[in-house]
Structure 1
Amino acid sequence: MFSYRRVKTDERDAADLADLLRMGRLAEAWIAPQDVREVRELVRYRHRLLGARTSAKAQVHAVLGKAGIQVPVNNLFGRAGAEWLARAGLHGTYRLRVDSLLRLIAFLSAEIAAVEKQTTGLLADDPGYRAVQAIPGIGPVLAAVMVAEFGDVHRFASPAKLCSWAGLTPRHRASDTKVHRGSITKQGSKLLRWACVEAIQRSGADTPMGRLRNRIVDRRGVQARSTAKTAAARKLLTLVYYALRDGEVRCLAERTRA
């Protein structure tokens, strides 16, 4: 009832906090060490740079649409796309803006590469960073995000607590015999949830996450794709938990019944 009482004074607050501390029920915050904070700074900055580059690419497409020019290549920012853009019939303000955006994209790409190189150097000797990359769908970039956001995985007693901390567990409200489950809580790091969903989209159908996702879609229909991705993300975090804790990944192979 601490947060619901009507009388709130400094003296009462101090006494209540002391009682919670005595009973071992005072919530504690984990402060990451300096090396973890440095990696977090890099992966979060890279994500912002990536968002800026994506925005610049979208603006190039928007300018071409305003000029009424249809793009004939699949990748506008590859080699073939760059050659086509140089010959595209853009004039005046449209040409100036596209050229400016292309220079900005090249600059942001160089900065992203530099940040990735620095991040890889900081995590080169981290056994958890190497172990996590054994999970299908997780490469160096997503592995760096997970290692940085989790920090010390030993502070979580189980994979279920890790999933709850990441905001991938459903809301649960119960009163007497009535139980209501809602959407996921989305607490914790938004960047971490993005990394989990990105890894799920990259994992194949023959992986534990892919099999779980497909079973849910087959049972509940295509309208359950988001639910299936969330369930697969929890499965992924279970593998990540053991990879960071033990230095190896469990349950990657399909279980065989005797």
Structure 2
Amino acid sequence: MKLFIGLDVSSTNLDACFLTSESTILLETSVSNDLTGACEIRELTLDYIKQFAFSRVVIGMEATGQYSSLPALFFHEDEALRSHGVETTVENPRNIHRFMKVFTEDKNDRLDAFHIADYLRLERFNTSPIKEEQYIALQSLTRTRFNLIQDMTRTKQHFLNILYMKCNVLQRELKSDNGSTSVFSATIIELFTTDYTLDEIGYMPLEQLIGILQEKGRGRFREPKNLAERLQKAVRSSYRLSKTVQDSIDSVLASQVRIIRTYQEEIKALDKAVVDILEVIPESKSLLSIPGIGPVYTAGILAEVGQIGRFASQAKLAKYAGLYWPKNQSGHFEKESTPLSKQGNRYLRYYLIEATNSVKRRLPEYSEYYEKKFQEVPKYQHKRALALTARKFVRLVDKLLRDHQLYTPPRRSIEHS
């Protein structure tokens, strides 16, 4: 006989159902979602093991972010439970919700715990090893970094919108200057938000503006004269605003600049903490050996993947990241064009795609594959090609992590180098 313990986890409670493989409910209870409550579940589990001598005991719950991660780690690492071979698994909520809908439309915490236990009883699940502590620590850093990047991107977009009000031609002129600098260059930001008015920039002697650019840019501009001319052209071509509106825009721009710089400083601090943790994770060496993938992308991938043994194959890993295309087939009909699923782990998908974008600039194998996929369709070329290339990259990540290998370039790449 086997025992399956379904836990419905919320921020405050652990609702538990103890269900045998013969569909007998031994107990339904609710405890607090804290150390005291988890210890109660543990003691009940140990008592039933002594009473019935189960051949298998599984504790399972849905993945509910931080709410489930703490109890899952507790049950997985508890020595008393481990000594009796108790398994702990965290399941995809979609699978359990589909299972529940087959039997009832009612929903409450007690029923949810029962359906989780009943789902486990069918033993159609793959026991998901719980991530070790170093991966959880890494995940807190990489997910925070991800959110800071998203926030900074939104702030930069707002900055651009406001800057357009001040000098609506500036961004267009800088783009036409062969990308020598951008509106987010420290020199451009300082020039347009703190030091000078638009009229001062637009009508000062050209040589004086060139000197200012060289001084603030520390001589890094390749063609300072051309840049100065474009800046003055942008200022002279832009709309003029009243002093009241101009002052308010300057205040907002200054505020946005301070926020962007704060984000940049915090992201740098997180990057340093990420590097420190990577030093104690041996698998990081495998990913760091790939040209173009640095500590940040390595950390982001490892934090979400954890132990590669959690996934039966590279296909399972890709599906977990949402990098797969569900088939749409009925009878003799099969849809040719299917959209990317995107139902998986958005953090892992983000870091895989960002890493792929970097790797394809360094490895011919990936750049050629990207170009091939880019040319296949007339619409959404970049997004589609990058997603497909990322799917190819998943196979490399899986292989290196599973075999504990360092990256070795293909023979053709070596011959061409």
Coarse TM-score class (shorter-chain normalised): 0.7 to 0.9
Tell me what 1:89 maps to. 197
Quick check: 1:169–1:184 contact (8 Å CA) kept in 2? Answer: yes
When residues 76 and 205 of structure 1 are mapped into structure 2, their CA distance, relative to the original with a 3 A threshold, is same
* Residues 1-258 of structure 1 aligned to structure 2 (within 5 Å): 3-5=101-103, 17=117, 21=120, 23-26=122-125, 28-68=127-167, 70-71=169-170, 74-85=181-192, 86-89=194-197, 91-180=246-335, 182-202=338-358, 203-204=360-361, 206-218=363-375, 220-223=376-379, 224-249=381-406, 252-255=409-412
Q: Please say if residues 139 and 303 of structure 2, whose CA atoms lie closer than 8 Å, have aligned partners that are also in contact.
A: yes
Give the secondary structure class of the aligned counterpart of 1:171: coil
Superposed CA RMSD: 3.2
Residues in 2 aligned to 1:212 and 1:50: alpha-carbon distance in whole angstroms: 28
Which has the higher Rg, Structure 1 or Structure 2?
2
Q: By how many angstroms is 1:171 displaced?
A: 0.8
- Matches of 1:117 and 1:16, distance apart in 2: 40
More displaced stretch, 64-73 vs 130-139: 64-73
SS in structure 1 at match of 2:328: strand
Assess if the C-alpha contact under 8 Å between 1:239 and 1:251 holds in 2.
no
Contact 1:162 1:237 (8 Å CA) reproduced:
yes
The structural deviation recorded for 1:69 is 5.0
Give unpaired runs (5+ residues) of structure 1: none
Preserved contact between residue 159 and residue 253 of structure 2 (Cα < 8 Å): yes
Distance 1:230 1:155 in 2: 23
Match in the other structure for 2:54: none
Q: Deviations over 1:9-39 (max 9, x none)?
A: 989x959955x64552146555323321221
Distance of 1:123 and 1:69 partners within structure 2: 44
Q: TM-score, normalised by structure 2?
A: 0.53
C-alpha separation in 2, matches of 1:99 and 1:6? 56
| In 2: Cα distance, 1:16 partner to 1:69 partner | 57
Taking structure 1 as the reference length, the TM-score comes to 0.82
| Cα distance, 1:100 vs structure 2 | 1.7
Give the letter aligned to residue 400 of structure 2. Answer: A
1:65/1:228 CA distance change after superposition, 3 Å: closer
CA 1:178–1:250: 2 relative to 1, 3 Å? farther
By how many angstroms is 1:79 displaced? 3.5
Distance 1:93 1:7 in 2: 55
For 1:175-213, what per-residue CA distance to the aligned partner results, in whole angstroms no more than 9, with x for missing partners?
444434621221221122122222232222753222222
- Quickly say closer, same or farther: Cα 1:46–1:14, change in 2 above 3 A: closer
Instruction: Work out the CA distance in 1 between the residues paired with 2:290 and 2:116.
Output: 46
Q: Which has the bigger relative contact order, CA under 8 A and spacing at least 6?
A: 1
How much identity, in percent, do the aligned residues show?
A: 25
